Amino acid sequence: MGLLRAFIAAELPPFLQDAIQTATVSVRRTLGAELVRWVPAHNVHLTLKFLGDVSPTSVDLIKHMLETEAGNHSIFDATIEGFGCYPNARRPRILWVGLEAPPSLASLHHDLNAAAARLGYPAEDRDFSPHLTIGRVRQNATATEVQKIRAEVEHLKVGELGTTRVDSVHLFKSDLLPSGSVYTKLFTARLGSV
Domain locations in the chain?
4-190
Regions of the chain with pLDDT less than 70: 1, 193-194
Amino acid (one-letter) located at 26 = S
pLDDT of residue 163: 96
User: Which pLDDT belongs to residue 193?
Assistant: 59
Give pTM, 2 decimals: 0.92
User: Of 185, 187, 169, which Cα lies nearest the Cα of 75?
Assistant: 169
End-to-end CA distance of the chain: 38
C-alpha 144/C-alpha 189 separation (Å) is 45
pLDDT, one tens digit per residue, over 131-156 is: 999 999 988 889 999 999 999 888 89
Distance CA 86, CA 69 (A): 28
**Beta bridge partners of residue 188, listed in sequence order:** 170
Which ranges in 72-178 belong to alpha helices (H)?
103-118, 143-155
51, amino acid identity: L
Assign domain 4-190 to its CATH superfamily. Cyclic phosphodiesterase (3.90.1140.10)
| pLDDT at 176 (0 to 100) | 84
